[in-house]
Chains A and B, each alone.
Chain A
Amino acid sequence: MNSTENLVKRLPNDIGGLPADRIQQIDHELLPWEKRCHALADVLDFHKIINTEEKRRGVEQLGGEMVGKLTYYERWIVAFAFILFQKAILTPDELAQKMKEVESRYSRSTL
């Protein structure tokens, strides 16, 4: 099997049955923003804006590199942004503007 064929047959989330390392029984208390991100996921589901399966697929569509390098909730929030763009609920410009605004709010408050 050539390497590109394998990419098609195994999307980034499809790891069931693959060889992997020993299990490290790790856990962490969610950071406040991570918990807000989780609550946001639930609320988006309640309002039928993004359901669980769309979220899972959205994460998968980030591609192997992002799935591998971003943390769990980093993947979620980026996937939400992309899905909201696809659904024309948000535009990339709008989000970029708002992020700039949020960031400046913080940098002002720490002066």
Chain B
Amino acid sequence: METHDHDHPDVHQKSAAEPAPRYYEIMETAVRELLVEKKLVGPGEISRQIEVLDSRTPALGAKVVARAWVDPEFRARLLANGRTACESEFGISFYDDTKLIVLENTDKIHNLIVCTLCSCYPRPVLGLPPDWYKAKPYRARAVREPRAVLAEFGTDIPEDVEIRVSDSTAMVRYLVLPQRPVGTENFTEEQLAEIVTRDAMIGVVRVNLENRSTP
């Protein structure tokens, strides 16, 4: 083992089966090591942030949604200030220092979120975005023909329901608060959280009972 591995034992693990790194991976390693050598970045910082990234999944957002469904006062606080409600009541840190606006779906309004310029996403509550969210077809078309886009996700929104598309920025992120499906009146908060999917919080699908995860 070389000295490199002593410097970053947690970031870099090699095995015999691992293929030789390609150009861009070499660049990533080189940039990171130079920044650590210059003491601009601490040696363990990258691996600590990887742990933070790994701790964020749509399950977190689902808990927030389920709480909003069962607790009208929480829902009001969440809609008034998404970030504060998530921070103070769920202990979710906004490590990227973004504002969170929660958009409520109703019988009259269906919300959809996108980032046309790049891939801005409510990462503190949903984790990293799926590839299709970052790819051209979704970014280009969501703002122009949202109904056609929704149809490709199997979501049919009646003509009398207004579709609102919110375009995220570096500083402002959105989360869709989906409608609670009929037939869940007797569900506990935990059971409700199980049926809330990532795609429902992006707004490309509704929450429905078929989404319920099987044990």
The chain A residues found within 8 Å of chain B, CB to CB, are: 13-28, 30-33, 35-40, 42-47, 49, 51-53, 56, 59, 70-74, 77-78, 80-81, 84, 89-90, 94-95, 98-99, 101-103, 105-107, 109-110
Contacts and interface: CB of A to CB of B under 8 A. Distances in A.
B80 interface: no
B130 A77 contact: no
Given A23-B137, A47-B41, A52 B132 contact: no
B49 A43 contact: yes
Given A22-B137, A77-B27, 4 more contacts: A15-B136, A20-B140, A23-B137, A26-B132
A80 B31 contact: yes
B27 A99 contact: yes
Contacts of A81: 27, 31
Contacts of B35: 40, 44, 49, 89
A49 B40 contact: yes
Given A72-B119, A81-B27, A39 B46 contact: yes
Contacts of B40: 47, 49, 89
B141 interface: yes
Interface of B: 2, 4, 11, 13-14, 20-21, 24-35, 38, 40-41, 45-47, 49-50, 52-53, 95-97, 114, 116-120, 128, 130-132, 134-141, 143-144, 149, 152-153, 167, 170-171
Contact of A15 (B4, B33, B116, B131): B116
Contacts of A42: 49, 52-53, 95-96
A25 B153 contact: yes
Contact of A26 (B131, B141, B170): B131
Given A16-B140, A102-B33, A27 B21 contact: no
Given A13-B117, A14-B117, A28-B131, A20 B28 contact: no
Contact of A19 (B38, B97, B140): B140
A20 B114 CA distance: 15
Contact of A23 (B97, B132, B167): B132
